[in-house]
Structure 1
Amino acid sequence: MADWLAAIILGLVEGLTEFIPVSSTGHMLLLGHFLGFESNGKTFEIVIQLGALLAIISVYFKRLWMLATRWPFDPDARRFLIGLLVAFAPAVVIGLLAYDFIKTVLFETPLVICIALIVGGLLLLWLDRMKKVPTFLEADRYPLRVYFLIGLFQCLAMVPGVSRSGATIAGGLLLGTDKRSAAEFSFFLALPTMGSAVAYDLLKSWDRLDFSDTGLIAIGFVTAFLTALAVVRFLLDFVSRHGFAPFAWWRIAVGVAGIVGLALTGGL
């Protein structure tokens, strides 16, 4: 397969999966494995995540600007920012402590990704059918305890295939949030989490980064941005109408297909 076509496909997959609970990392690693595509120093895979992150900033720019400018004198804005930091904190600590193990062991084991996709899909199906009246309906008004516990759930996504958004949404639902606000909070939490993860990846891999394929990186970046933009704009309404079952079944299907593919290619 031509590299430019692989770049488009991977960009589409990154944008489509980054903010829905199906694990963008799991999809990217499995797809890269079967396409035989891997950039030097994983520069391509790291940089195109910024395209998806830019989509969040574009859609929520007005609210982000209000938070940035009003927090010194607006108690509600300040409280939400504190909540985001509280939710983000566990990922900082655990990510720094387990970084090498995650990158060198978990990210290099496709079977782990497939199993995590299937298990996460089954959990999402259970949560989607759970008969529980939500207590918290607005992402910027959760109690600090809920923010912190959602942050702990997010750390589960350090296992590729779990899904960062899936873990935060599942945690929110278990803690009493409704589906729409849980999905929205996962968007906001993506900003510090993904931004710092990408920055740390770039720092740790700086001596191995290769920007010689800037054309391919640009293709993947733009594709990821445009695709993620569409996902972010329509996901909340989709979730409100259909819940998370479609994503759960997709996870299970991809996980099973991945195991079959590994078996057929001798990758088990």
Structure 2
Amino acid sequence: MDMHYLTVILLGIVEGLTEFLPVSSTGHLILASELLGYDASVWAMFNVMIQLGAILAVVVLYWRTFWAVAMGLLRLDPVSIRFVRNLLVAFIPAVVIGLALHDYIDTLLGSPRVVAVALVVGGVAILVIERLIREQRFHGIADIPLVRVIGIGFIQCLAMVPGVSRSGATIMGALTLGVERRTAAEFSFFLAIPTMLGASTLELLKKGDQLTSAQVGWDSIALGFIVSFIVALLVIKWFVGLVSRHGFAPFAWYRIIAGIGALVWLSLR
């Protein structure tokens, strides 16, 4: 197989594997560019587009939930209204801070060392939070009080630093604010839809002319999208079952080992 398409498939697998795990998909894509030696700027818009495949996986897996919420909104059901309100309110901080710091965030995206350090720090933070959390009062997305939803939205913004992980920040923020594990994970999945759509739209508006470069055409984007979608489908179902039984410590140790390994490799290059 052509090396180009091997890179497409690999990036699709990395995106699908890491987007919803607390390990940072953006960080892994940055490190992959360093490890494989390809020009990350050429593939930047490709990486944005294949995120939409991961989003579609959430919609497909949870279509019954979305359908029930949509029907509930038509009936003005309070639970459905609170569900949508909580997602929208948690999304607002990312909009405001993302627009304000967009250029600075772009600068950070070029630094694999930032990714490596963030992986280690984030892994340690997960281990600490896992030890400290005790009370889990909220067992449904609609049950989370508005003040705590706002807190989760601001904590999600930490993931604008590459390597922090959007899903990791959201889940850990929710846990510290009293949300039960499975609900915290699912809230992270659902919040990814407006957050990632918003980030992708912003990138398209700013850099849409780069959408199909000579090296990365529509056929590559379509293949990466499909690979990301299929892998994310498998990962989401596995992830929810795993954290319900074992918590998030396995991902914390992975982050720490991967981050230290990346720092050593970067220092020896």
- Give unmatched runs, 5+ long, in structure 1: none
Q: CA deviation at 1:131?
A: 4.8
Percent of matched pairs sharing the same residue: 49
The structure 1 segments of at least 4 consecutive aligned residues displaced by more than 4 Å after TM superposition are none
Determine the structure 2 residue equivalent to 1:244: 248
Greater Cα shift, 65-74 or 150-159: 65-74
Q: How does 1:84-233 map to 2 (within 5 A)?
A: 84-103=87-106, 105-210=107-212, 212=214, 213-233=217-237
Separation in structure 2 between the aligned mates of residue 183 and residue 41 of structure 1, nearest angstrom:
29
* Cα shift at 1:129: 2.3
8 A Cα contact 1:169 1:186, kept in partner: yes
CA-CA distance at 1:245 after TM superposition: 0.7
- CA offsets, 1:112-139, max 9 Å, x none? 1110000000011112222512111222
Distance 2:101 2:261 in 1: 29
CA-atom RMSD in angstroms: 1.5
Query: Which of 125-134 and 9-18 deviates more?
Result: 125-134
Structure 1 residue 80, shift from structure 2 partner:
1.1
The separation in 2 between residues aligned to 1:86 and 1:44, in whole angstroms, is: 29
Q: Residues 83-117 of structure 1: CA distance to partner in whole angstroms, max 9, x if unpaired? A: 111100100000000001101x1101111111000
CA shift at 1:232, angstroms? 1.3
- The answer to whether the 8 Å contact 1:13/1:28 transfers is yes
Q: TM-score, normalised by structure 2?
A: 0.94
- In the alignment, which residue of structure 2 is the partner of 1:14? 15
Letter in 2 for 1:15: G
Matches within 5 A, 1:55-94: 55-72=57-74, 73-94=76-97
- SS of structure 1 residue aligned to 2:135: coil
Query: Matched residue pairs, number?
Result: 264
Q: Give the letter aligned to residue 237 of structure 1.
A: G
Q: Does the CA-based 8 Å contact 2:46-2:211 persist in structure 1?
A: no
Deviation of the 1:220 alpha carbon = 1.4
Distance 1:15 1:113 in 2: 18
Residue-by-residue CA offset, 1:217-242 (whole Å, 9 max, x unaligned): 22211111000001112211110111
